[in-house]
Amino acid sequence: MMQLSPKTFCDTFSSVNTSMPILTGMEFMRRPARLSDALLHEYECVSRMAHVRKWDFDLYHFRDFIQDPQHAVVITNIQQTIQWVNHGFANMTGYQIQEALGKKPSFLQGKETDPLTRSAIKACLLEEKKFEGKLINYRKDGEPYWCDVRIEPIFNEQQKLVNFIAFEEEIV
């Protein structure tokens, strides 16, 4: 019989009842944190997308990231048209979810957004590689803000590029 450790956020073998214990004190997987109903709905939407589009993607990372209601997630198609954003995006930018759908994420950029960063993003996306960096975006009211951005390509089970996902966190 396996017992789970109550002291960690990991599922932990504390003992195995067999004649010869094989696993003792071995952690094997993080225990997912409980999500609020709203965040659970967002997680389920992305989980369905991942299942339908057969993404080869780590949903645990997504689940961890969205636990902070200020974290923004943007999913685009391969033409970089926004297909889905979370409520954290609306909180960060001031744009309602429906206002972002169908646009390119570059609509958040402006005069103070570094052209070299914009070029680096474009190059990474064309090469189907991950981008990590900081840039200035603009809220709906025109206020600039610094944003830490990680954009990852999403491949399907056949390793064909099908989407991009951006994880964005405001730098305060």
Q: What are the pLDDT digits (tens) for 125-149?
A: 999 999 999 999 999 999 999 999 9
Q: What is the pTM of this model?
A: 0.75
Q: What are the pLDDT digits (tens) for 50-82?
A: 888 888 877 877 878 877 878 999 999 999 999
Whole-number Å distance between alpha carbons of 7 and 120: 43
In the chain, domain spans: 1-31, 37-170
> Which residues, in sequence order, are CB contacts of 167 under 8 Å at separation 6+?
65, 71, 72, 73, 149, 150, 151, 152
Q: Is the Cβ–Cβ distance between 63 and 35 less than 8 Å?
A: yes
User: Could you tell me which of 169, 170, 167 has the C-alpha nearest to residue 75?
Assistant: 167
For the chain, percent of residues with pLDDT exceeding 90: 58
Task: Name the strand (E) or helix (H) holding 140.
Answer: none
Architecture (CATH level 2) of domain 37-170:
2-Layer Sandwich (3.30)
